[in-house]
């Protein structure tokens, strides 16, 4: 099947399952997005799960890529979606043409069949990850700032403590860096990417925004990148909620509902969050903490930073600084005020203490 060959070729060119589903759903219609998920499932089906990288497998599960049909895919797809075979053929042809135009991306994961489970570094412990997600979800949904702050602070404490413990456990192993892609809504993408950038810096990671596609490439330690995704996602939810709340009572056509206001709001929000995270990193840590006081900690963190910088330079040989113009003083003030109220928690100084 030509579509499977096209998808197989894209794996060789750095694309991942979630990437393909996202770019197709943003560029074509729902039919093409549905079909590409099934093609992805067919492409990956010959490989035993034990030879598929865990992050690759999680993406397959997240997009619902599984072989549910018997026989020919296009016939089964047309029947399932109550469409004619001619419509299925047109959708397939359009999808094939689109996939053939996609450029190459940096290779960030081994292809299915190329990895053994024992060779994969683990990320956040699943129990810690579930607890952090639960705490951040509650912090985002509560109407009481004090409660949200306490919940977020606890989440940050868990992430930071776990990151340090993992760093010490892996102290005798070579420092490794990896990369992830974080897709954002295209609405105000450039402004939202500023927020992800400052969070990435706080976790000793680096970020590059792909404006044309709608994702941010992150480079860092496996545990740190999971923390970047969790905190960035939570802060984006908080920022959007605060921005909408300001514009809600305002009348139609008011400045608070305008694009210049919202752009300025998001840029100011990111700027202020960056200042707060930097201030947290400057707070001295307790010398009585057995992990922080371990003389191996700073060399381990320094080695990891070097690994991150090396991988980043290998992946991105040409980058440029992006600037955002702010045209609403009211939006800027509102964004900074909202960032002051945002819950970013405490205890981050231990994780970032090796940056100096």
- What are the pLDDT tens digits along the chain (356 aa)? 899 999 999 999 999 999 999 999 999 999 999 999 999 999 999 998 888 998 999 999 999 999 999 999 999 999 999 999 999 999 999 999 999 999 999 999 999 988 554 455 666 667 877 888 888 888 778 766 567 666 766 776 677 677 777 777 777 778 889 999 999 998 999 999 999 999 999 888 999 999 999 999 999 998 889 889 988 988 898 888 888 888 776 666 678 778 889 999 999 999 988 888 777 665 555 556 555 555 667 788 888 889 999 999 999 988 777 777 777 888 888 888 888 877 775 433 333 323 32
Residue whose token pair is 């699943």: 126
How much is the pLDDT for 136?
Answer: 81
Which uninterrupted H or E stretch holds 206? strand 206-210
Residue 130 region by backbone torsions, left for phi larger than 0, else alpha for psi between -120 and 50, else beta: alpha
Q: Which two tokens stand for residue 239?
A: 């920022």
How many angstroms separate the CA atoms of 281 and 189, rounded?
27
Q: Which two tokens stand for residue 341?
A: 């109220």
Is residue 73 within 8 Å of residue 130, measured between CB atoms?
A: no
Q: Is 219 helix (H, G, I), strand (E, B) or coil?
A: strand
How many angstroms separate the CA atoms of 208 and 96, rounded?
28
This prediction's pTM: 0.82
Q: With 0-12 CB in 10 A as exposed, 13-18 as middle and 19+ as buried, what is 356? A: exposed
How much is the pLDDT for 60?
Answer: 96
How many angstroms separate the CA atoms of 304 and 309, rounded?
9
How much is the pLDDT for 321?
Answer: 76
Q: Which two tokens stand for residue 70?
A: 């018997």
Q: With 0-12 CB in 10 A as exposed, 13-18 as middle and 19+ as buried, what is 162? A: buried
Residue whose token pair is 């702010």: 326
Which uninterrupted H or E stretch holds 10? helix 2-12
């Amino acid at each position: 099947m030509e579509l499977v060959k096209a998808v197989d070729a894209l794996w060789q060119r750095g694309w991942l399952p979630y990437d393909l589903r996202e770019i197709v759903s943003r560029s074509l219609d729902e039919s093409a997005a549905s079909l590409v998920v099934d093609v992805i499932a067919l492409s990956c089906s010959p490989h035993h799960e034990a030879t598929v990288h865990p992050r690759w497998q999680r993406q397959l599960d997240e997009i619902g890529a599984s072989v549910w049909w018997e026989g020919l895919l296009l016939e089964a797809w047309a029947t399932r979606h109550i469409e004619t075979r001619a419509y299925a053929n047109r959708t397939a042809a359009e999808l094939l043409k689109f996939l053939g135009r996609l450029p190459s991306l940096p290779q960030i994961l081994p292809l299915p069949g190329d990895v053994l489970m024992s060779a994969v570094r683990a990320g956040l412990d699943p129990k810690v990850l579930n607890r952090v997600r639960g705490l951040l979800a509650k912090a985002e949904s509560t109407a009481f700032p004090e409660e949200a702050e306490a919940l977020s602070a606890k989440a940050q404490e868990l992430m930071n403590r776990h990151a340090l413990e993992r760093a010490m456990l892996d102290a005798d192993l070579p420092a490794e860096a990896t990369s992830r892609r974080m897709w954002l809504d295209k609405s105000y993408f450039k402004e939202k990417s500023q927020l992800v950038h400052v969070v990435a810096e706080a976790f000793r990671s680096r970020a590059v925004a792909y404006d044309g596609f709608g994702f941010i490439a992150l480079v860092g330690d496996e545990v740190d990148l999971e923390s970047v995704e969790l905190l960035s996602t939570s802060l984006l939810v908080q920022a959007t909620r605060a921005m909408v709340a300001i514009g809600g009572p305002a009348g139609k056509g008011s400045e608070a509902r305008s694009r210049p206001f919202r752009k300025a709001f998001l840029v100011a929000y990111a700027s202020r969050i960056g200042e707060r995270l930097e201030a947290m990193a400057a707070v001295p840590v307790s010398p009585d903490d057995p992990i922080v006081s371990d003389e191996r900690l700073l060399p381990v963190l320094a080695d990891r930073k070097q690994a991150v910088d090396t991988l980043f330079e290998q992946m991105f040989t040409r980058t440029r600084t992006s600037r955002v113009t702010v045209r609403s003083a009211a939006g800027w003030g509102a964004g900074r005020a909202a960032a002051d109220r945002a819950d970013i928690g405490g205890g981050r100084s231990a994780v970032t203490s090796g940056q100096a």
